[in-house]
Amino acid sequence: MMLKLTAEDQSMLDGEHGRAVAAAMKILVAFSNAVGARQLLDIAGAHIDGCLYHGQASLDFVERLVEGGGRVRVPTTLNVGSFDLIHPGLVKMPAAQEVPARRLMKAHLELGCQATFTCAPYQTRFRPAFGEQIAWGESNAIVFANSVIGARTNRYGDFIDLCCAMTGRAPAWGLHLSENRRGQLLFELTGSFEPADALFVGVGLIVGQRSGDRIPVISGLPQPRDEDQLKALGAAAATTGAVALFHAVGITPEARSLDEAFRGMAPEATIRICRADIDQALAKLSSVPEGAPLAAVSLGTPHFSHDEWTRLLPMLREVAPGRGIPIYVNTGRATLKRLQDEGELHDAEKLNLIPVTDTCTYVTSVLARLDGVVMTNSGKWAHYAPGNIGVSVAFGDLEDCVRSAAAGHVVRGAR
Amino acid sequence: MSEQDSRALNRVGTFQLAGEAQGSALVLSHALSFWGGVDAETGDIIDRSHPGGNVAGKILVMASGRGSSSSSSVLAEAIRRGTAPAGIILEWPDPILAVGAIVAEFLYEISMPLVVCDISGIVSGDRIAIGLGEGDRAMVSRI
């Protein structure tokens, strides 16, 4: 089995499009051989998860492409970095770390990537269409693109996503190919469920834990209120597991029926999920009991959509948290700009609202206090924050987070 | 047959990244994610589900890779710092470790061999050599 290159691929490899493209193609070819792809295919766009600093090698790689005169060949969005470039001073970091971390973000812009700095590129004008071939990094974005939109990407990341962007090509393997997108494992919800936010998080956690490297199909899920609930499901599944694609029967575009989801074949196994399983999965996200005093609330992991802001703001104004407990909301800079233009954030300060763009509160030092309990409505944030930034976490739905901020301690189910 | 002969081991494998290396085998019972699992500054294994140890200069042997694509960066950074294994032998190919090895070779001209072959019978402490065989094959032997 050998990789077959087109004449155009070969000319990129031979340096006819410059040193940076040649380097990217060389790495892409080595990678394609390593995964057994037989050819490359055209991509319509890329999303790069390379702006978080993991050491000198991350920066050396991008600098090498900048020096080689590189420009991305397809529309390319950027994932979060370590800094909020819109709100300087929000992230606190020693200078020795700050300099290379800022440079990493800027170097990507010099390659022609878009300054989106969001983990939710599907909420920007660069959202791909059904069936489009793309090369995306960032686990929640990958699972959303494949599952909710029906675009096609593998789990790209570090270095390779950028090599795809620089060449406009990706190896033809895995989820790029129709035959590999068939469901394999059936998760059957037993009982009747309301489309509550927490349900989607809970199902995502379980599906992630139990899927391994097989593609899950979920049946019995109620129609979601909006795609943000599917975003939460996917993010949770890509947190507890390596899920890159799920099908939800009657909901996601490649699963209009159970039969379509499995392409007419039988599931390899069936896993039943009942209410108690979901409650148990969600309970594991909280390390503190009800009533625990709160230091902060963190929302928007993945980045808050415009719809989510539209749900949050009236809720906040009604409950009017007055205890000085900060409510951090991670969101894309374009979403924030739109809200500001609409005049929606005029009372942000009064509501103790701190919008965070370009980064996320669990990957860098944003929170003023790390010694207390932080409440979140995100399964992903609840999973990673204790290890990454050392906080204790309480999980709850959006209403609970808002009411808890007003009360100053963890409250659940207060209506 | 001497004891030495009964322990002879000569395997042919495929390279995900070609190179030559020798070192003491460190065999892990389950997959290690470099991101969150290895400290690139020291090579120490920090994932508490493993018994500990240090990967620097070893021939790391495990069935497969695991976890976040950020493992590519951590492996590349460890290769740059000289804290990476001398070579890695896997039962199953792993795209994430392959990327880390490919990029480190590109940036720093250090070729850390990444081999896919049968890992049965290799135990921690064995002296293992990875060499280049005919037709780009990987030769794995106990020395």
Helix, strand, or coil (residue A288): coil
Q: Rounded mean pLDDT of chain A?
A: 94
Q: Which of A283, A315, A344 is the last residue of a domain?
A: A283
- Number of structural domains in chain A: 3
Distance of CA B134 to the CA centre of its chain: 21
Q: Would you name the residues of B annotated as active-site residues?
A: 68
Q: CATH number of the domain that A326 lies in?
A: 3.30.499.10
Give which of A32, A153, A159, A164 to mutate to test B binding, by max B Cβ within 10 Å: A159
Query: What is the residue whose two structure tokens read 């009064």?
Result: A350
User: Beta-carbon neighbour count of residue B9 at 10 Å?
Assistant: 14
What's the average model confidence in pLDDT over A352-367?
92
Which segment of A119-123, A157-161, A216-220, B29-33 scores lowest on mean pLDDT?
B29-33
Q: How far is B18 from chain A (nearest CA, A)?
A: 11
Same domain, A97 and A208: no
- Considering the domain architecture, whether residues A123 and A79 belong to the same structural domain is answered as yes
Q: Which residues of chain A make contact with B99, given a CB cutoff of 8 A?
A: 27, 31, 157-160
% of chain A with per-residue pLDDT over 90: 86
Secondary structure letter of residue A222 according to DSSP:
P
Question: pLDDT tens digits, residue range A300-311?
Answer: 999 999 999 999
Is residue A288 a part of any domain in this protein? no
CATH at residue A208: 3.40.1060
* Selected residue with higher pLDDT from A3 and B95: A3
Residues A192 and A302 in one domain: no
AA letter at A380: K
- Measured CA distances, B22 to B19, B65, B86 (Å): 10, 21, 7
Residue A156 within a domain: yes
In a domain, A159, yes or no: yes
CATH number at residue A47: 3.30.499
Mark whether A279 and A335 lie in a shared domain.
Answer: no
When pLDDT is cut at 50, 70 and 90, the band that residue B1 belongs to is very low
Pairwise CA distance, residues A205 & A211, whole Å: 10
The domains located in chain B, with CATH, are 3-142 (3.50.30.10)
> Is the residue at A387 inside a domain?
yes
The answer to the question of residue A38 being in a domain is: yes
Contact assessment for residue B68 and residue A137, using Cβ atoms and an 8 Å cutoff: no
Q: Are residues A266 and A240 in the same domain?
A: yes
Are residues A157 and A74 both part of a single domain?
yes
Q: Which of A178, A211, A244 is at the close of a domain? A: A178
Residue A314: phi and psi, rounded to 5, are: -60, -35
Domain containing A398 equals: 294-407
Are residues A188 and A152 both part of a single domain? no
pLDDT in tens, A369-407: 778 899 999 999 999 888 888 899 999 999 999 999 999
Integer Cα distance of B101 and B87 in angstroms = 10
Lowest model confidence (mean pLDDT) among A172-181, A396-405, B25-34, B99-108: B25-34
DSSP A226-281: SHHHHHHHHHHHHHHS-----EETTTSTT-SSHHHHTTTPPPSEEEEE-HHHHHHH
Q: Does B102 touch chain A (CB under 8 A)?
A: yes
Q: What is the pLDDT of residues B50-98, one digit of tens each?
A: 888 999 999 999 998 876 778 899 999 999 999 999 999 999 988 889 9
| Chain A contact present for B68, CB below 8 A | yes
Same domain, A161 and A229: no
Residues A209 and A306 grouped into a single domain: no
Let me know whether A120 and A197 are in one domain. Answer: no
The answer to the question of residue A414 being in a domain is: no
* Three-class SS state of B57: coil
A128/A15 same-domain check: yes
Write down the pTM of the prediction.
0.92
The reply to whether A193 falls in a domain is yes
Of A31, A56, A387, the CB nearest to B99: A31
**What ipTM was predicted for this assembly?**
0.89
- Given a contact cutoff of 8 angstroms between Cβ atoms, the answer to whether A359 and A82 are in contact is yes
Q: Is residue A66 part of a domain?
A: yes
With an 8 Å Cβ cutoff, are A31 and B106 in contact? no
Cβ-in-10-Å burial (0-12, 13-18, 19+) of A220 comes to middle
Is residue A243 located within the same domain as residue A309? no
